[in-house]
Chains A and B, each alone.
Chain A
Amino acid sequence: MTWLLFLEQCLNGLQFGLMLFLLAAGLTLIFGIMDLINLAHGSLYMVGAYLVASISQATGSFTLAIVLGVAATAAIGMALEVAVLRGLYRRDHLSQVLATFALIIIINETTRVIWGVQPLPLNVPGALSGSVRLFPGIDYPAFRLVIIAVGLAVALSLYFLVARTRLGMLVRAGASNREMAMVMGTDIRWLFTAVFGVGAGLCALAGAMLGPLLAVQVGMGENILILAFVTVVIGGIGSIRGAFVGALLIGIVDTFGRAFIPTGLRAVLSPSVADVAGPSLASISIYLLMVGVLFWKPQGLFPARG
């Protein structure tokens, strides 16, 4: 039976990793192209989840809620870029950290004002609430399979967008050498706003997909934000490919750590020690991974700047 468990954990890790990629893709581009540390990226994820949850409550349609929620969050993201973040590109990292930290505080409190302190219900749509028999002995929740499919589809489209279109070419040029791209006549202002809109939309999509599994509540953005930053740093700032590899790596390491480290340690150590060491080792595994990667490769796995 262990290989069945192993397979199931692989799928869980893949699913988590792909959702992390949705967040990290936007973050790494904003980081790499605009040279902006955007701590408020997780807030867009939260806003997206809240919008999708309340639209789906009002209309009864999960699909419609995703379309509207993603579009609305993209618009909010672009508005935020034009109103506040644009003024931060030329500033040092410290000012960016402070300003976007302030944005987190403002957006969190505004969310509490609008939606209250109670978590918002966001349910898996009825048609997807069952499970699918993948192999004899493995019943996997249908909704999680949909998450994997959506994640893969978005990753493929992003790859196509970045590698094969004119917009993607500009984005790559901007990430590898911003000044040169500007000198060559790229309209950077418009490009930045567009990238921000796409990043915010991806945040909302991740929020809509993870909302039914986790909880739609204030503070949900900060937890995942740090994971997204770890992903970006491991992958190499500004690299979409790095974000993809990093996200899957973190998804797998985190899922496997939580599933196997506590039981594994119990086989080696005394129960009282293992009960303390297991969960803590499982929850810090990804940070150890990050420290290890930065120790050997201080610029991450796939440095975008040549």
Chain B
Amino acid sequence: MAGWRRHAWLLVALAAALALPKIAAIAGQDFYVSFASRVLIWALLASSLNLLVGMGGMVSLGHAAFFGAGAYVVAILSVEAPGGSSALLVWPLAVAVNALLAFLIGAICLRTRGVYFIMITLAFAQMFFYIFTSLTPYGGDDGLSLARRLTLPGLDMAGDATFYYVVLAIFAACLFALGRLKASRFGRVLAGIKDNEARMESLGYATFRFKLVAYTVAGALAGLAGALMANQNGFVSPNMMSWDQSGIALVMVILGGLGSLWGGFAGATAFLVLEEVLSGFSAHWQIVLGLVLLGVVFYAPLGIAGLFARKPR
């Protein structure tokens, strides 16, 4: 895509995103503001998974573990330290905790490859799920409700529109950072590892370290998404880290476009909009959703990004 056209698209998208709460208010459909926040949070989760799967070729079926862990950092802090409710403190903490978790778990998981990697990441997510299920002091199976959203100086976070703008800013910053990462030397090495790890190794790259860094960054971003989701819903539960959540995140990545910078966003938007539209038609909308996903696998394996890339020149 030519440079100016790309920037024009970005400006249009940004303008639409900024105007969304105003349009929703005029139309009297405030529901769509919180829906848009949800889309952006899922988009952040899917983009972090896309860093692993699309850029690094590491197929994880346990990414929701970090999503849930990030949410629980917010929830547990709200129980243990009800006074300290500044997002400037809690969100970086959620990122740090998840970076550490992802570093440790990644160091073990990355010893394996291919199918074994898929299964060992799934096993860790299951462990998280069961540990939080039996963590009765923090709600156990039933989950935990938050009294209120975290605060940011000068902003009224209780308002859905304000919260939406905060999420939008965070998502935009993360996507920008991911774009820079993808274009950097690190991103090129990662792409090389995805393509042919043995070759990269014989070229002298410590592939394990590159993969571990990618896994750590992806885990930290997923934790940030989880922390945002806890604030969005005002509720956390072990279901956030159940394996079908990991599966849905993976579905979003493939739906949007593997390895494409906007893939996570496109996939999250397509999936959640599809869910919203279909569930309005029939109680058994999931059959249609499943058929659409099957159709994607067989007829559009490159996802939504692939549809745009195939333009004739």
CB within 8 Å of B: which residues of A? 31, 37, 39, 84, 87-88, 91, 93-95, 97-99, 101-106, 108-110, 112-113, 222, 226, 229-230, 233, 237, 275-276, 279-280, 283-284, 287-288, 290-291, 294-295, 298-300
The answer on a CB contact under 8 Å between B286 and A94 is no
Q: Given the interface contacts A37-B115, A229-B122, A299-B116, does A105 sit within 8 Å of B258 by beta carbon?
A: no
The answer on a CB contact under 8 Å between A105 and B116 is no
Q: Given the interface contacts A94-B258, A229-B122, does A276 sit within 8 Å of B298 by beta carbon?
A: no
Main secondary structure of the interface of A (DSSP, over half): helix
Interfacial chain B residues near A37, Cβ < 8 Å: 115, 118
The answer on a CB contact under 8 Å between B301 and A93 is no
Q: Given the interface contacts A109-B284, A284-B127, does A97 sit within 8 Å of B122 by beta carbon?
A: no
**B residues contacting the other copy or chain, number (CB 8 A):** 44
Stretch at the interface among B11-19, B128-136, B221-229: B128-136
A132–B161 Cα gap in the complex (Å)?
Answer: 66
Question: Could you tell me the distance in whole angstroms from the C-beta of A112 to the nearest C-beta in chain B?
Answer: 7
Interfacial chain A residues near B35, Cβ < 8 Å: none
Q: Given the interface contacts A98-B250, A280-B130, A294-B112, does A229 sit within 8 Å of B287 by beta carbon?
A: no
The answer on a CB contact under 8 Å between A93 and B118 is yes
Q: Given the interface contacts A109-B284, A283-B134, does A93 sit within 8 Å of B59 by beta carbon?
A: yes
Nearest A-chain residue to B59, judged by Cβ: A94
Interfacial chain A residues near B293, Cβ < 8 Å: 98-99, 101-102, 105
Q: Does B88 contact A (CB under 8 A)?
A: no
The answer on a CB contact under 8 Å between B123 and A290 is yes
Interfacial chain A residues near B112, Cβ < 8 Å: 294, 298
The answer on a CB contact under 8 Å between B284 and A113 is yes
Nearest B-chain residue to A237, judged by Cβ: B115
Interfacial chain B residues near A84, Cβ < 8 Å: 294
Pick 21 A–B contacts, CB within 8 A, sort by A: A91-B301, A93-B118, A94-B250, A95-B301, A98-B250, A98-B293, A99-B297, A101-B251, A105-B289, A106-B290, A109-B284, A113-B287, A226-B243, A229-B122, A280-B130, A280-B135, A284-B127, A291-B120, A294-B112, A299-B116, A300-B116
The answer on a CB contact under 8 Å between B254 and A98 is yes
Question: Pick the contact of B290 from A97, A105, A284, A299 — CB < 8 Å?
Answer: A105
The answer on a CB contact under 8 Å between A106 and B287 is yes
Interfacial chain B residues near A104, Cβ < 8 Å: 290
Question: Could you tell me the distance in whole angstroms from the C-beta of A208 to the nearest C-beta in chain B?
Answer: 25
Q: Does B25 contact A (CB under 8 A)?
A: no
Question: Could you tell me the distance in whole angstroms from the C-beta of B102 to the nearest C-beta in chain A?
Answer: 15
Number of residue pairs spanning A and B whose beta carbons lie under 8 angstroms apart: 126
The answer on a CB contact under 8 Å between A295 and B111 is yes
Q: Does B153 contact A (CB under 8 A)?
A: no
The answer on a CB contact under 8 Å between B287 and A94 is no
Question: Pick the contact of A97 from B59, B116, B120 — CB < 8 Å?
Answer: B59
Question: Could you tell me the distance in whole angstroms from the C-beta of B215 to the nearest C-beta in chain A?
Answer: 15
A233–B120 Cα gap in the complex (Å)?
Answer: 9
A200–B293 Cα gap in the complex (Å)?
Answer: 23
Nearest B-chain residue to A92, judged by Cβ: B59
Interfacial chain A residues near B55, Cβ < 8 Å: none
A227–B85 Cα gap in the complex (Å)?
Answer: 40
Q: Does B150 contact A (CB under 8 A)?
A: no
Question: Pick the contact of B294 from A103, A110, A280, A291 — CB < 8 Å?
Answer: A103
Q: Does B203 contact A (CB under 8 A)?
A: no
Question: Pick the contact of B250 from A97, A275, A279 — CB < 8 Å?
Answer: A97
Interfacial chain B residues near A300, Cβ < 8 Å: 116
Nearest B-chain residue to A288, judged by Cβ: B127
A295–B287 Cα gap in the complex (Å)?
Answer: 39
A102–B301 Cα gap in the complex (Å)?
Answer: 14
The answer on a CB contact under 8 Å between A294 and B296 is no
Nearest B-chain residue to A101, judged by Cβ: B247
Q: Does B201 contact A (CB under 8 A)?
A: no
The answer on a CB contact under 8 Å between A94 and B290 is no
The answer on a CB contact under 8 Å between B250 and A280 is no
The answer on a CB contact under 8 Å between B126 and A284 is yes
Q: Given the interface contacts A101-B251, A280-B135, A294-B120, does A93 sit within 8 Å of B297 by beta carbon?
A: no
CB within 8 Å of A: which B98-141 residues: 108, 111-116, 118-120, 122-124, 126-127, 130-131, 133-137
Nearest A-chain residue to B138, judged by Cβ: A276
A93–B136 Cα gap in the complex (Å)?
Answer: 37
A87–B301 Cα gap in the complex (Å)?
Answer: 13
